[in-house]
């Protein structure tokens, strides 16, 4: 399969160019593929406004340029405008990653005045019934209303579509809606299987035939509309034979700060047992990035096992995803099972077979609720 958008490779020159601020794990939606931890309900001690401001300043001093406010639902934080304004003052390019729940025309105007530069909205279908069923809340119409309002107030809009078995056939209808709404970028993000998505993997995973049909529809649309809208297609690595270049390498250009202050190389990394991830409440951002053992563990290629260590593609995919390796094999240093060269690749192949076994009994999706996956 080929990507419907350009690949991204960046040399951060040792700087955390992208700062991801997970302001809260609270969210009114119940998405069954949520990348928040399964135990999110027990993580309630959120950083204060002043603590976040210190993180923003220290990260900017290290060279961070792009800032994503995410969650959970970041709009549930009443200090969102204040944090956006501080980030803008510091010189960040700010992006809000939102379900739109908690936003209104008035609040969007305040965020615009505060200096917010871009908004990424998640949308699960072109029709209300599918969206509302997938997220467990009647929010589709509000999402559409807010996308129109976001465009009306002059924000660039990225539409993020989490692709699962339940909506993969909607590609053309999605794109026609996005075109009508005036969306600037559309990202078809085939769901990756961590946390809640891993719990629901058998129910969420599309077939290869469905993926190919979706990709063909996207390519046909792109040829028809040209440069009116940019469309990305995030390839599912279970079917690709090669792992994704996760985070452009561990601790290379991205730093995530969780709601409770834990500093992570990616949003999923707190699942990794045996790594002591530091908190911004206890250490400076500079020490965490440059010197903490957790951020240094999988940098470079010295940690790699064979066949990764001698692979001529290791500088392309950085050995794949440490979290996926841990979740599937129990050892984060193992070669990513998504890679066809990995001795663990059979685990991915077996997962595909199991998800589409004709005699398999389907079950209801486990929706994102505190304690639901325990």
DSSP 182-229: T-SEEEEEEPP-SHHHHHTHHHHPPPHHHHHHHHHHHHHHHHHHGGGS
> Model pTM?
0.94
Domain ranges of the chain: 18-234
pLDDT, greater one: 247 or 252: 252
Burial class from Cβ neighbours inside 10 Å (0-12, 13-18, 19+) for residue 42 reads: exposed
* Cβ pair 210, 169 in contact under 8 A: yes
pLDDT score of 210 more than 60 = yes
pLDDT tens-digit map of 163-191: 999 999 999 999 999 999 999 999 999 99
Q: How far is residue 9's CA from residue 216's CA, in Å, rounded to a whole number?
A: 25
227 Cβ contact partners less than 8 Å away, ≥ 6 residues apart:
none
Residue 246, pLDDT score: 81
pLDDT, averaged across the chain: 94
The residue behind tokens 């010197």 is 291
CATH of domain 18-234: 3.20.20.70
CA torsion through residues 55, 87, 13, 265, sign:
positive
The share of the chain scoring above pLDDT 90, in percent, equals 91
Which of 168-172, 231-235, 261-265, 318-322 shows the lowest per-residue confidence on average (mean pLDDT)? 231-235
pLDDT tens-digit map of 37-93: 999 999 999 999 999 999 999 999 999 999 999 999 999 999 999 999 999 999 999
State yes or no: 34 annotated in a binding site. yes
Q: How far is residue 19's CA from residue 67's CA, in Å, rounded to a whole number?
A: 5
State yes or no: 321 annotated in a binding site. no
State yes or no: 31 annotated in a binding site. yes
């Amino acid at each position: 399969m080929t990507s419907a958008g350009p690949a991204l490779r960046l040399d951060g020159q040792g700087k955390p160019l992208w700062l991801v601020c997970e302001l809260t794990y609270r969210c009114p939606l119940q998405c069954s593929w949520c990348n928040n931890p399964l135990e999110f309900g027990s993580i309630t001690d959120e950083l204060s406004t002043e603590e976040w401001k210190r993180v923003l300043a220290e990260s900017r001093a290290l060279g961070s340029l792009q800032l994503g406010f995410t969650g959970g639902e970041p709009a549930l934080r009443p200090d969102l405008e204040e944090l956006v304004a501080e980030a803008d003052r510091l010189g960040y390019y700010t992006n809000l990653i939102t379900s739109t729940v908690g936003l209104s025309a008035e609040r969007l105007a305040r965020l615009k005045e505060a200096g917010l530069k871009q908004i990424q909205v998640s949308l699960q279908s072109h029709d209300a019934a599918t969206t509302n069923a997938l997220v467990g809340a009647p929010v589709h119409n509000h999402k559409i209303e807010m996308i129109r309002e976001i465009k009306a107030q002059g924000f660039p809009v990225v539409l993020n579509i989490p692709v699962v078995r339940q909506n993969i056939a909607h590609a053309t209808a999605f794109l026609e809606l996005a075109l009508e709404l005036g969306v600037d970028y559309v990202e078809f993000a085939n769901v990756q299987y961590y946390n809640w998505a891993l719990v629901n993997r058998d129910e969420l995973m599309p077939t290869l035939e469905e993926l190919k049909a979706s990709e063909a529809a996207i390519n046909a649309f792109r040829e028809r509309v040209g440069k009116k809208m940019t469309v990305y297609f995030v390839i599912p690595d279970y079917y690709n034979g090669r792992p994704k270049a996760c985070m452009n390498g561990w601790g290379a250009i991205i730093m995530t700060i969780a709601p409770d202050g834990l500093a992570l190389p990616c949003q999923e990394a707190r699942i990794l047992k045996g790594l002591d991830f530091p908190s911004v409440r206890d250490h400076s951002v500079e020490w965490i990035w440059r010197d903490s053992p957790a951020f240094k563990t999988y940098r470079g290629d010295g940690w790699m096992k064979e066949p990764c260590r001698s692979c001529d593609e290791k500088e392309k995919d950085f050995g794949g995803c440490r979290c996926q390796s841990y979740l599937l094999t129990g050892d984060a240093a193992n070669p990513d099972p998504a890679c066809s060269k990995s001795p663990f690749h059979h685990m991915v192949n077996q997962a595909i077979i199991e998800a589409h076994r004709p005699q398999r009994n389907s079950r209801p999706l486990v929706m994102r609720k505190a304690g639901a996956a325990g």
